[in-house]
Amino acid sequence: MMDRYNVSKLLEVFACREIARLHPVSDMRVTLNFLNPGLCHSELQRDVPSFLRPLVNIFMLLARTTEVGARTLVHAALAGPETHGKYLSDNRVRACANLVEGPEGGEVQRRVWGELGGVLEGIRPGILKVLDA
């Protein structure tokens, strides 16, 4: 499960950055950003195998309250166009990992969006046109 979670977050980063690159804030009616609320008390750990629960419970001692984690969501919702295509964490614009912003990041980002867009179009033809509306 953790691999799927991490991969899904990475795909989200690449997709959001590519959509923002293809559709600058001046062309859109919304600001697109992506965020990290941090480790928060939630139900994400509900599927952890029982033998790992003691370890997870120790980590949860360090977790933020849901209210504190939600502050980043509120910040993202209220942020202006200067955050378009940016990663927000702790109520600030932050740099992404080197894999994302490094020399090969742009190419991987374009490939990920191309493949994801192809899958989405296969499921619902014309779905990506909503970005051009």
Distances (CA, A) of 73 to 40, 101, 129: 12, 23, 27
Which is catalytic among the residues 9, 86, 87, 129? 9
From CA 119, how far away is CA 1, in angstroms rounded? 22
From CA 7, how far away is CA 91, in angstroms rounded? 23
Backbone phi, psi, residue 40, to 5°: -125, 155
Pairing of strands 34-36, 87-89: parallel
Contact 37, 73 (CB under 8 A): yes
Which is catalytic among the residues 5, 86, 87, 129? 5
Reply yes or no on whether 5 is catalytic: yes
Torsion sign (Cα): 79, 20, 127, 119: negative
By annotation, the residues acting in catalysis are 5, 9
